[in-house]
Amino acid sequence: MAFTMAPPEGMQNFVSHRVARTPETPEPILAGVEDEVSAAASHYTQPHEVEEFVKQTGVDSLAISIGTSHGAFKFKVKPGEEPPPLRFDILEEVEQRLPGFPIVLHGASTVMPEYVDLINRFGGRMEKAVGISEEQLRRAARSAVCKINIDSDGRLAMTAVLQKIFAENPGEFDPRKYLGPARDELIKMVRYKNEQVLMSAGKA
């Protein structure tokens, strides 16, 4: 098996001291959009390929695909319907094949409902935004997953605050009055994730 330009399906990016110059090189396999990279469909990681991939590339960690995806609209679910669970069976098999090897998850925002509600309530339009449940992230954080990438929740936190401020004060034009609160909310959200979801507080 040879890996040249792109990793096999489901190994969307990797970290390597020998191969990649940047710490992580996302490949267009995980669904959604990140920077200029986008992918329409996601493919689950094939656990039988990971050992060979790690051996041949010399990567230091491996981002796998078990059902997370980039963006704020991760799943198409009907009202009241639960999004599909993450494929912990794949994660467990990867852990067995690569004992102690650092695993990474991308696209792991919960798409926090309180922010989505605020945005919708104050004139925004993000009705069908849905993400990964906190419970599943807590479970992932207890496993070989050592890094969980969250971006959309930060975007939502700041947008929700701005949307509310401008709806309530349409005449506001002092950036200190809206960028300050937006930043404070972002800090609050990150603190919450570290302390209550990823359980990574004090472990840096």
Size of the site for Zn ion (CB under 5 A): 3
User: CB of residue 70 vs Zn ion: minimum separation in angstroms?
Assistant: 6
Among 27, 34, 49, 185, binds Zn ion (CB under 5 A): 34
User: CB of residue 104 vs Zn ion: minimum separation in angstroms?
Assistant: 9
The CA distances from residue 111 to 21, 83, 85, 98, 165, in Å, are 31, 12, 15, 30, 20
Q: Is 49 in the site for Zn ion (CB under 5 A)?
A: no
Binders of Zn ion among residues 143 to 172 (CB under 5 A) are: 149
| Among 123, 103, 194, 106, CA closest to 165 | 123
User: CB of residue 25 vs Zn ion: minimum separation in angstroms?
Assistant: 11
Q: Which is nearer to Zn ion, 21 or 125 (CB)?
A: 21
**Opening angle at CA 143, ends 196 and 192, nearest 5:** 15
User: CB of residue 105 vs Zn ion: minimum separation in angstroms?
Assistant: 9
**Opening angle at CA 126, ends 138 and 39, nearest 5:** 70
* Cα separation, 142 vs 68, whole angstroms: 17
Among 106, 137, 156, 161, binds Zn ion (CB under 5 A): 106
| Among 105, 92, 155, CA closest to 129 | 155
Q: Which is nearer to Zn ion, 106 or 164 (CB)?
A: 106
User: CB of residue 24 vs Zn ion: minimum separation in angstroms?
Assistant: 8
Question: In sequence order, what are the residues at sequence separation of 6 or more whose Cβ sits closer than 8 angstroms to the Cβ of residue 35?
Answer: 26
Binders of Zn ion among residues 111 to 150 (CB under 5 A) are: 149
Q: Tell me the two tokens of residue 53.
A: 């991939």
Q: Which is nearer to Zn ion, 33 or 201 (CB)?
A: 33
Instruction: Report the interface residues with Zn ion, using CB under 5 A.
Output: 34, 106, 149
